[in-house]
Amino acid sequence: MERVCVTGAGGYIASWVIKLLLAKGYIVHGTVRDPCNEEKNGHLKKLENAEERLHLFKADLFDNEGLRTAFSGCSGVLHIASPVPGTLQFDDPQTEILDPAIVGTRNVLNACLELKVKKVVFVSSMVSAMLNPKWPQGLEMDESSWADVDYCKTNERWYALSKTVAEREALEYAKKGLNVVTICPSGTIGPMLQPTVNASSLLLLSYIKDLEGRSDGTKKTEDAERAVVDVRDVAKAIVLLYEKQESEGRYICSSYSLMTREFVAKVQSIFPDYDYPQNFTEPKITERALFNTKKLLNLGWNYRPLEETIVDSIKNYEEAGLLNTDGIPTRAHPPYCLGYKLQRICG
């Protein structure tokens, strides 16, 4: 059986990728900070076929020896581990987000080169394509659109900068003989396998539960354009890119683009009894989130209806008790812990 390693195994996207790989018969290696931490990683061990074919390894993105150990014997590496913040503000962006994403990716790819891994799928983000002020207004962004590095620095968009630089470096490794494919998912929502709430799920939760005191009528919600995709469809796309020999270069992965007000109305039409935003305001910065996914669709990818994602997400939150309790468990590790809004989520 073929062996594949998934970095950041306990995270949101990575957990669904592992579930899919196990269902398809792979032996899966997963990197985590602490394999014995049942609170953070116990959900992985409960997946079907995990007992026989899932092996967790202690490693982080700065642990070169741990990465090499985890990748040993693997024909592929799916690099998902990266800090995913719930805020744009950082005390020390270099240490908090840039180094983990950029240097960490470099460490992963160097280990893959050394071990002669056959193929790497690097999970980037829509922001590496989206923050491009030179892109024609109203034109769907495709794989040729890259975030402007100077724009990211000037506007302190550190997460976008981290993903853009890391992705560009990853694609450069193809010149060194490593087969690297990258994927840029949009805002990822859908049911969670992990016990803690990731940043993109927290955003959806904020629309249906008053997390920030909007009940007094003074809190306004920005009516920004949102591009979204189901986490299960992202997992499917990542595995598809790995398995398809003809996959190459970069792929946009997004299903729907709609304004926040429109998205909230759609959720409310299905689940009318929750506490939804009523007051919307124009966003301070207008950034389009309109994407062209033809390249990925032509490879054989498909996605589910948005209504299915909404229903499965809300039912998942209800079953987890997130909508009837005050506490929302988030996964936080210093220096990323800034309350519920910011988590160090790998994937």
CB-count burial class (<10 Å; 0-12, 13-18, 19+) for 95: exposed
Phi, psi for 104 (deg, rounded to 5): -60, -45
Of the given ranges (22-26, 37-41, 137-141, 341-345), which has the lowest mean pLDDT? 341-345
Tokens of 209: 């539960």
**Amino acid 217: pLDDT:** 54
**Amino acid 325: pLDDT:** 47
Tokens of 137: 């207004």
The DSSP line for 18-66 is: HHHHHHTT-EEEEEES-TT-HHHHHHHHTSTTHHHHEEEEE--TT-HHH
| Tens digits of residue pLDDT in 112-125 | 999 999 999 999 99
User: Distance (Å, rounded) from C-alpha 99 to C-alpha 302?
Assistant: 34
**Amino acid 112: pLDDT:** 98
**Amino acid 101: pLDDT:** 95
Mean pLDDT within 140-148: 96
Share of the chain above pLDDT 70, in %: 89
**Amino acid 324: pLDDT:** 73
Contacts of 327 (CB under 8 A, 6+ apart): none
Phi, psi for 62 (deg, rounded to 5): -105, 0
Mean pLDDT within 155-170: 95
| Tens digits of residue pLDDT in 11-42 | 999 999 999 999 999 999 999 999 999 989 99
Is the pLDDT assigned to residue 102 strictly greater than 70? yes
Kindly state which CATH superfamily the domain 3-192+229-255+289-305+331-341 is placed in.
Answer: NAD(P)-binding Rossmann-like Domain (3.40.50.720)
Is the pLDDT assigned to residue 334 strictly greater than 50? no
Contacts of 186 (CB under 8 A, 6+ apart): 126, 227, 228, 229, 253, 254, 255, 257, 289, 291
Nearest to 123 by CA among 259, 256, 258, 16: 16
Q: Which amino acid is at 169?
A: E
User: Distance (Å, rounded) from C-alpha 208 to C-alpha 114?
Assistant: 47
Mean pLDDT within 268-274: 93
Contacts of 240 (CB under 8 A, 6+ apart): 247, 299, 300, 301
Mean pLDDT within 95-107: 94
**Amino acid 339: pLDDT:** 26
User: Distance (Å, rounded) from C-alpha 344 to C-alpha 159?
Assistant: 12
The DSSP line for 195-246 is: SSB-HHHHHHHHHHS-SS-GGGS---EE--EEEEEEHHHHHHHHHHHHH-TT
**Amino acid 342: pLDDT:** 26
Tokens of 251: 């792929």
**Amino acid 336: pLDDT:** 26
Q: Where is pLDDT greater, at 207 or 48?
A: 48
> Is 118 assigned a catalytic role?
no
Q: Where is pLDDT greater, at 91 or 132?
A: 132
Active-site residue, selected from the candidate residues 19, 40, 119, 163: 163
Is the pTM of the predicted complex or chain greater than 0.95? no
**Amino acid 90: pLDDT:** 78
Find the helix packing angle between 64-71 and 99-115, rounded to 10°. 50
